Amino acid sequence: MDLESALDRLYAVDLDEFTSTRNRLSSELTSGGDKTAGIQIKSLKKPNIAAWTLNQLARSHQDEIAELFAATDRVRRAHRRALSGGKASDLREATDLRNRVVSKLTKIAGTILVEAGHAAATATLAAVSDSFMAIASDDAGADLLRKGRLERELQPGAIADVAGLTLVPDGDDDSVPVPKVDVTALQSARVKINEARQRVKDANEALREAEAEAWKVSGEADEAERRAKAAREAAEFAKRAAEGRKNDAEQAAKALEEAEEALNKLDGSS
């Protein structure tokens, strides 16, 4: 077993089995003579629920993931042409197509979560959807998604780095004028986008924490109810037992009284 096959096996397991599988694979690699690979595997962090879902989706729905990458590339090209004076309608069509693909994949992600026994929480699905959008501006993250080896969800950014764009005319006519780009305005817009993205990230994190707390409180309430029910049942059993002992005591007292009366009669007759 080499490092690549170990990685494929590790990121394919259920989320609850990740840590134990990681440790076992690390030991196997080390004992097999590949200490470096063993250390690399050992250092890997357990994916969060959104990343785990993305990894499973990438492995089980490769055709749909390929469709996402194709749609994203189409958006990128249309965006470049729009900056060069091309048709805005082409960009809208490409974006609509990409959004439909993202919507389809997000629904599949929800099914994967439910079938694995996890909640298809709104925050989790939002993180999954954002990751699909993020591959347009995160090449490293896109590669990890292809391989199904994400540790965390991806964060969406600008569709491309405008400063590094090669403008693509809509056609082969070299005479198409290239409009001047207001770099300052673009940089300002990118700053605002990053700030808005951070606010969304913070809001999603707060939502995840709130949902986790709600699950915790709900679980504690269920446990308290179970304990209260058990206490009520125990009290009822004790009450019935006490009533039974009371009846036994009354019958014993009556028997004693009858025995004493019989004894007194015997004494009187003698």
Nearest to 42 by CA among 15, 12, 8, 6: 6
| CA distance linking residue 25 with residue 1, whole number of Å | 9
The verdict on pTM exceeding 0.75 is no
Each of the 270 residues of the chain gets a pLDDT tens digit; together they read 889 999 999 999 999 999 999 999 999 999 989 899 999 999 999 999 999 999 999 999 999 999 999 999 998 888 888 877 777 888 889 899 999 999 999 999 999 999 999 999 999 999 999 999 999 888 899 999 999 999 999 987 644 433 333 334 444 444 444 444 444 555 556 566 766 767 777 777 777 777 777 777 767 777 777 777 777 877 777 777 777 777 777 777 777 777 777 777 776 665
Please answer whether residues 50 and 128 qualify as being in contact, where contact means their C-beta atoms are separated by less than 8 angstroms. Answer: yes
Please answer whether residues 93 and 71 qualify as being in contact, where contact means their C-beta atoms are separated by less than 8 angstroms. Answer: no
* Residue 13 confidence (pLDDT): 93
For residue 136, report the phi and psi dihedrals to the nearest 5 degrees.
Answer: -65, -25
Please give the C-alpha separations between residue 9 and each of 18, 55, 56, 251, in angstroms, as whole numbers.
Answer: 10, 12, 12, 73
Give the three-state DSSP class for 264: helix
Structure token pair of residue 160: 């491309």
Buried b (16+ CB within 10 A) or exposed e, 160-189: eebeeeeebbeeeeeebeeeeeeeeeeeee
